[in-house]
Amino acid sequence: MQLTFLGTSAGRPTKERNVTSIALSLPEPLNGFWLFDAGEGTQHRLMGSKLKLNKLEHIFITHLHGDHVYGLPGLLSSRSYFDGAGPLKLFGPSGIRAFVEGVFKLSGTHLAYELDIVEIAPGEIMDDGRFKVEAAELDHRMPCYGYRITEYPQPGQLNLSRLAELGVPPGPLYGKLKHGQDVTLESGGIIHAADVVGPQVPGRIITVLGDTCPCDNAIKLAMDSDLLVHEGTFAPGMEEKARAYGHSTVLQAAQIAALAKVKQLVLTHFSSRFDDHAITTLVEAAREAFPNTVAACDYMDVNIPKPIG
């Protein structure tokens, strides 16, 4: 699994950073991706990546501020021009349906695929058997959500040498064993899955938060995550301004990461007042509270490796 940061600026784009959007590439054999927010210009950023719109399966919108949604109508429209673009689910707060359908009605836009718009409430919003997604409200100037993506444990590795010793032919029997089913050979011998399959591989947890002041739900969503994406709009010492605008400082984000016992923190959504040199300094301050902190930049990829079973 991999996160690709398509936009890392807050409020408005800069020459170096577009406004918010993050892509989550799913593990093989799925080969699709999900999108979190779609600020203006997101489809242009996608054209500079390896991601293709016909592989986009779900979009999760944190809130309806323009720097998180103004790129959505154009992206949805352009997806119609990609061969093989199947049904798409769009998750977001109340109002996301009126926003999208209003733009499409006024612009005469028609999609060539099925779009399912889901206006969410706190709690579990999706479970496809491979991933579960939970949402909770954050502390911002308008209704805003964070998302916790939990990957279910995966079957362990097959012991190929042991299977060969037992005379199990490659093919469908391998698949049954890998999924925990005992099998019977043509000779009548019974092969027990527990004898030839390693322990389950734990799933990964990724938390992507929208704009927020420090709050309890940020900690709950992020608890024990392999990776937390948290906004870092302001510098330490700017807590009053951050509170007034419904945001966090990089130090506050690091403190949330520490309280939630996450493995890695990626900061994004930086105020346009900060250039790259200043952001480097901000990250150094954040690392005092949470050492494993990095600053996102546009087109940065962050891999989330499989835990060791």
Which residues carry out catalysis?
67
Find out whether 179 is annotated in a ligand binding site.
no
Pairing of strands 88-92, 205-208: unpaired
Side chain identity at 204, as an amino acid letter?
A: R
Q: Which helix (H) or strand (E) holds 229?
A: strand 227-231
DSSP secondary structure, 191-218, as one string? E-HHHHB-PPBPPPEEEE--S--S-HHH
- Residue from 19, 23, 17 nearest 55 by CA: 23
Specify whether the CB–CB gap between 149 and 24 falls below 8 A: yes
Find out whether 277 is annotated in a ligand binding site.
no
Alpha-carbon span 52 to 130, nearest angstrom: 22
Alpha-carbon span 235 to 242, nearest angstrom: 9
Find out whether 247 is annotated in a ligand binding site.
no
Find out whether 67 is annotated in a ligand binding site.
yes
Radius of gyration of the chain (CA): 22
Find out whether 65 is annotated in a ligand binding site.
yes
Find out whether 110 is annotated in a ligand binding site.
no
Find out whether 63 is annotated in a ligand binding site.
yes
Q: Which helix (H) or strand (E) holds 119?
A: strand 115-119
Query: Which residues are known binding-site members for Zn(2+)?
Result: 63, 65, 67-68, 140, 211, 269
Query: Which residues are known binding-site members?
Result: 63, 65, 67-68, 140, 211, 269
